[in-house]
Chain A
Amino acid sequence: MRNAFADELTKLGNEDPRVVMLSGDIGNRLFDKFRAAHESRFLNCGVAEQNMMGVAAGMAMSGLRPIAYTITPFITSRCFEQIRVDVCYQEAPVIIVAVGAGMSYAGLGPTHHSCEDIAILRSLPNMKVVCPADAWEVRAAMRAALKQDNPVYIRMGKKGEPVVHAGIPADFAIGKAITVEEGVDVCLLSTGNMLPEVMHTAKLLRDQGITARVVSFHTVKPLDEACLAEAFSRFKLVATIEEHSLIGGLGAAVSEWLIDGEVKISKFLRFGTPDAFFRLSGEQEYAREQLGLGAEHMAQKIKAALA
């Protein structure tokens, strides 16, 4: 996702003179092309995320379209007050791009994990929360974000994840989920970098005669209510899947929507990380298994819920 981001950024920089790139001293050489083309519109803001977010707000308030970028916890929780007041309250159209969603950087330890960012960002008025599923959705999300006049948060994984789409999804829109696979027994609403794992889960289920509708539910705020209403009316089991805490993430957002609405609740499962820091070393795949986010485990639980 990271390389697609840098590549799309260069294109957007060529097309739109308002685009400015702010990086928090990460992404060695990643932005070389953008810098070569637009030296004055690239700023390495250093290891100073609060200032970077304030700078982004100021630029956005002055007619530019800044993209502020660094590792997920540092571009969200570290500068949360700046996001709340300078960006959201003042409706400054800053695009916040995070790298390392969820357990992408499992090996770096809990300081670099991020299973709270969806929860805190979606609590902010005026903020849109977009979690692209693959490199193509990253490109689409950036283009869509640039068309907004409000803040957008884009939550990326790392680099080298499998791609799901064949190109930029033509019908991509913020707040509109994408069905990537049809099925009749269960509806799997996946957000962000979990989609390849969820496709795997669907395959394991198919092998056992259960077919799943798989949805890339890339926007957690605003929710695609039409998609949800349809899913809950048609399927006897709906599940949300995210590499994020069960507190405050997509599953929580959907639960809130269910309780607030008039919808008949079908059976509902939420897959996410527990209310605990993940303290073991090891990479993302291992972490997912330990956290109950591995395809095998999810397929088993879904099958049991349908029984």
Chain B
Amino acid sequence: MNVQAAKANLDVKSLEDAARRLRGKVIEMSHAAGSAHLGSSLSCCDIVAAAYWHVLHIDPKQPKDELRDRFILSKGHAATTIYSALAFRSFYPESLLETYTKDGGKLAEHPPANSLPGVEAATGSLGHGLPIGNGMALAGRIKGQKYRVYALMSDGECNEGSVWEAAMFAAAQNLENLCVIIDYNKWQATARSNETLALAPLREKWEAFGWDAVEVDGHDIGAVAALMANVPNGSGKPVAIVAHTVKGKGVSFMEDDNNWHYRAPTAEEVVISHKELGLA
């Protein structure tokens, strides 16, 4: 596929605006709740914006439509990203975001099961999203439905054996309607991912596991959107998009600083971040 040509037909500017809005919101939410994983959420805002503002065939008024595309946030600890995206896309009122982590609410720090419109699967334990995605993609095939299934995973998540069991399964089943995006930010919770397990070469691994695998700058939102939209891509194989990203992307003092895996920003840091994002 010619990514540049496909990008030309895309409103990249509006996608970038959506991603910026997402970033602003997840920073606010992390501050208000004092919750961890802000760096993880910022890392994937462009991918999530590409998905929800361009790629997915979804209707907020019919979140359970059988023919909808499915998006699974397998890296469930980036919950604020998907909570915000679903609110901005009108799956529920934005005011619901204010209940994040509050006593008695629906928005815990990982996406819940069966209680929030648009959340396709309960995640938070890493390495579950792709096997579930396999099942959803196969169900579509068996039922003769042409929807697509996307799973967003993190690089540390690729440590899990279940990921590679699922990868081999999807390839054996030629699940061409299935796409995995890996938020390859080179960090996991306590160390560099490539110093923890031998992850690299990651694209080649997916290729060796029978996938049609590409590498992309995960913050080139137009390129990400074009690649994700082009599923199935004619190869007859499941598609792996290895997206090179920066943890904490968008805020200078959070970028590639893994303290933001655990830290929440102060009120002052929220203001500075918003300014940097051009949201002030």
Which residues of A are in contact with B by a Cβ distance under 8 Å? 23, 25-29, 44, 46-48, 50-51, 73-74, 78, 107-112, 277, 279-283, 286, 290
B127 interface hit (Cβ, 8 Å): yes
Q: Identify the interface centre among A25, A51, A109, A279: most chain B CB within 10 Å of its CB.
A: A109
Contacts of B102 in A (CB 8 A): 281-282
Please state if A50 and B161 are interface contacts (CB–CB under 8 Å).
yes
Q: Are A25 and B104 in contact (CB under 8 A)?
A: no
Q: Separation in Å of the B109 CB from the closest CB of chain A?
A: 5
Cβ–Cβ contact A47 & B127, under 8 A: yes
Question: In chain A, what residue has the closest Cβ to B125?
Answer: A111
B33: nearest chain-A partner, CB-CB: A107
- CB neighbours (8 Å) of B262 from chain A are 28
Could you list which residues of chain B lie within 8 angstroms of chain A, going by C-beta atoms?
35, 76, 99-113, 115, 122-127, 156-157, 159-161, 188-191, 196-197, 258, 261-262
Chain A residues whose CB sits within 8 angstroms of the CB of B197 once the complex forms: 46, 48
In terms of DSSP, what is the predominant structure of the interface of chain B? loop
- CB-CB under 8 A from A44, the residues of chain B are 190-191, 196
List the A side residues contacting B124 at CB < 8 Å.
108-112
Given contacts A47-B157, A109-B109, contact A280 B125 (CB under 8 A): no
Identify 30 residue pairs between A and B in the complex whose beta-carbon atoms are under 8 Å apart, listed by A's number.
Answer: A23-B190, A25-B188, A25-B191, A28-B190, A28-B262, A46-B188, A47-B127, A47-B159, A51-B161, A73-B125, A74-B125, A78-B125, A107-B108, A108-B109, A109-B111, A109-B112, A110-B122, A111-B124, A111-B125, A112-B110, A112-B125, A280-B105, A280-B106, A280-B108, A281-B99, A281-B102, A281-B105, A281-B107, A281-B108, A282-B102
Name which residue of chain A comes closest to B76, CB basis.
A111
Out of B101, B125, B261, name the residue touching A281 (CB < 8 Å): B101
B103 near A282: Cβ-Cβ < 8 Å: yes
- What distance in Å separates the Cβ of B168 from its nearest Cβ neighbour in chain A? 16
Cα distance A25–B126 when bound, in Å? Answer: 12
How many Å lie between the Cα of A27 and that of B261 in the bound state?
12
Among B105, B109, B113: residue with most chain A CB under 10 A: B109
Shortest Cβ distance from A77 into chain B, in angstroms?
9
Output the nearest chain A residue to B162 by Cβ-Cβ distance.
A50
Minimum distance in angstroms from B45 CB to a CB of chain A: 21
Least Cβ–Cβ distance between A97 and chain B, in angstroms? 16
Contact B108 A25 (CB under 8 A): no
Shortest distance in angstroms between A138's beta carbon and chain B's nearest beta carbon? 21
Q: Nearest residue in A to B193 (C-beta to C-beta)?
A: A46
- A48 touching B159 in the complex, CB below 8 Å, given contacts A74-B125, A109-B112: yes
**Shortest distance from the beta carbon of B123 to any chain A beta carbon, whole Å:** 7
Dominant SS at the A interface? loop
In the bound assembly, the distance between CA atoms of A90 and B99 in angstroms comes to 48
Sorted nearest first, the 3 A-B pairs with minimum C-beta distance are: A111-B124, A109-B108, A282-B103
Which of chain A's residues has its CB closest to B123's CB? A111
B115 A279 Cβ-Cβ under 8 A: yes
**CB < 8 Å neighbour of A282 from B76, B104, B261:** B104
> Judging by beta carbons under 8 Å apart, are A46 and B196 in contact?
yes
**Cα–Cα distance between A283 and B76 once the two chains are bound (Å):** 18
Task: Name the one of A28, A112, A280, A283 contacting B189, with C-beta atoms under 8 angstroms.
Answer: A28
Q: What's the minimum C-beta distance from A70 to chain B, rounded to whole angstroms?
A: 10
Residue of A nearest to B100 (CB): A281
A50 to B159, CA, bound (A): 11
- How long is the Cα–Cα vector from A172 to B194 in the complex, in angstroms? 42
Chain B residues closer than 8 Å to A107, beta-carbon distance: 35, 101, 108-109
List the A side residues contacting B191 at CB < 8 Å.
25, 44
In Å, the complex CA distance between A48 and B107 comes to 27
B residues near A28, Cβ cutoff 8 Å: 189-190, 258, 261-262
- Tell which of B99, B110, B111, B161 touches A48, judged by Cβ atoms closer than 8 Å: B161
Contact present for B112 and A286 (CB under 8 Å): no
B196: which A residues are within 8 A, CB to CB?
25, 44, 46
Give the distance to chain B from A307, nearest Cβ to Cβ, in Å: 32
Nearest CB on A from B191, distance (A): 6
A27 vs B262: C-alpha distance in the bound complex, in angstroms?
10
Given contacts A46-B159, A282-B103, 12 further A-B contacts (CB under 8 A): A25-B188, A27-B190, A46-B188, A47-B160, A51-B161, A107-B108, A109-B109, A109-B111, A112-B124, A112-B125, A279-B112, A286-B104
- Contact between B160 and A282 (Cβ–Cβ < 8 Å)? no
Q: How far is the CA of A26 from the CA of B76 in the complex (A)?
A: 16
CA distance A258 to B249 in the complex (A): 59
Contact partners of B99 in chain A: CB under 8 A? 281
User: Chain B CB within 10 Å — which of A23, A27, A46, A51 has the most?
Assistant: A46
Whether the Cβ atoms of A281 and B127 lie closer than 8 Å is no
Please judge, given known A-B contacts A47-B156, A281-B99, A281-B100, whether A26 and B125 are in contact too, CB under 8 Å: no
Inter-chain contacts of B122 with A (CB < 8 A): 109-111
Nearest CB on B from A48, distance (A): 4
Inter-subunit contact A25/B109 (CB<8 Å)? no
- Tell me the complex Cα distance, A189–B110, Å: 33
A281 and B103 form a contact (CB under 8 A):
yes
- CA gap between A117 and B254 in the complex, in Å: 36
Considering the chains assembled together, what is the distance between the CA atoms of A238 and B125 in angstroms?
37
What separation, in Å, do the CA atoms of A281 and B97 have in the docked complex?
12
A29 neighbours in B (Cβ, 8 Å): 190
Alpha-carbon separation in the docked complex, A27 to B106 (Å): 27
